[in-house]
Every structure is written in C-alpha cells, then in structure tokens.
Structure 1
Amino acid sequence: MSYVERYQSGTECSSWDQFGNCTGYSPTYTTTTHTTGAKVTGTLASNSNKFTVNGVPIACVGDQTNENWTADPSPSPKLGGTIISISPGTSGSGQGRITTGNGAHVTLNDKLIAVESSTVATHLGTSTTINEGNSLINM
C-alpha cells in the first residue's frame, strides 16, 4: 500500500518593499510517496469438498479465503508533514485463493490438499503462506 505526504520543502518571497527587497516569506510545499506493508489474516471461505478432519474442512488448491488486513506499520509522516492520501486504505477485507498444495502430491477430488506453508494469493495482489493447520495427518 502507498500513502502521500505533503511537507514544507522551503520558503519563497511573498511580499516586497518599495525597493524590491523581500519583506515576507511563505512556505512552499511538495509531496512524496511512501509505502508500507500489510498484515493479512484469513480463514477458509469455501471448500470444494465435504471432507473434514476433527470437524474442520480440508482446504485444497483453488479454495477461497476470507481475508482481513491492516497496514503494518501504520502510515505516518516521515518528513514532518501531513498524510493527504492513502491507497487502498489502512485496513480492509476481501477474498483470496489457495494457489499451492502439499509437496507429496496428495489430492482430494483431483485437487492438491493445502498444508502449512501452502501459498495463498491475497486480494491485495500479494502472496502469503498458510501458517497454521491440523497436524493430525502426515503426508
């Protein structure tokens, strides 16, 4: 995500006396763009099968995730100015999709089963990994 900071970059003469000498100054401003990361958390949104382990659905490649994200770290001025825009915002939600499965090529309904460290394509256009799951089944 990115955000724009407006800050004072200098001064310029804004008034003159009858001899052309500067008698007053006004600040000049410019903008710069900064970037920050996002912390994405998610859960399985839909699964394409009815199989569960201890009541928890098995996730497979292609299944959707419900995601929430927050800017991390939170946007803050770095040059003593004011933040004038943030894109896409400081938090939000959307749906991602599991893109990789297990390395043992274990499938369910012809789709690789997802495991810890499987990749998820987030709704922010980035990728992350699954960092928790059920450890009862070894593949």
Structure 2
Amino acid sequence: MILPTTHRAFTWQGSADPADLLLTETQIPKPEADDVLIRNVVIGLNPVDWKVLGGQLVNWQPGHVPGVDGAGVVVAVGDNVCTSWVGQRIAYHQSLGRHGSFAEYTPVRASAVLRVPAMVSWEHAASLPCPGLTAWLALEKLP
C-alpha cells in the first residue's frame, strides 16, 4: 500500500481552548516497533480530551496532536507486528504521551487496539475505548 507523505492533524498550541487547535499539514508518522499505523475514519471525544488541553496534566509541546480514542483501518505495521493487521478495522485508546486521534493517521501500540466487526459502525467503535476502559477499571475495584 502506498501512503501519502503528509496528512492533516489538529495540533495543540498551548491553549486550553479547543478552538485554538491548529489544523496543520505534517509528515505521516512511521510506525515504530510494536506499532500499527491507523488511517482514522472516526474519532471519539471524551472528557479527558478537553481536560488536558490546559497543559497542567500533560507534558506536551506545541504541535502535539491530542485525542485518545479513534477507529479506522490499519495501513502499516512496525517491527514485531504481524502484517495480517494491515486492512483490519480497529478501535483504539491512545496514550496521552503520544500523538493522538485528532489526525488523519495515528501510530498506536498494537497492544492498544481492538478488532471491530463489520456490523459495528465506525461511530460506535470510536465511542467505546475510553468509556469501556473506565467501566472495566471501575468494575475491577469492586469487592
């Protein structure tokens, strides 16, 4: 699969105001070892996405791409990841320390992706990871 060399991403400029995110054209990231590269179809929006924009909870530099949840198609894999992932429909929950889902392409650890059946809409898939993880963690704390 031949990928474009650049893509669009909303980048953080240091402001807590989501309207200050800047739409930029940037190089498509190459997947590192243990990563998959995802062409995002739909992104999720969660409270954490706006809570961190002030910068106090994260160590971001201007140009960072926010967004923790997304759904899309794997278009490339890094070392240590089976090529059978390419073409798979997935949803993911990204680490706040890495570039996130507010972009056309996002590299994510393969261990952080979920396969999405064809019968599940992109919108439902992108809305599941953060709330699902939150619910799971809450249930794990119950006696």
| Smaller-chain TM-score bracket | under 0.3
Rg larger for? 1
- TM-score of the superposed pair, with normalisation by structure 1: 0.21
- TM-score of the superposed pair, with normalisation by structure 2: 0.21
Relative to its length, the structure with more helix (as a share) is 2
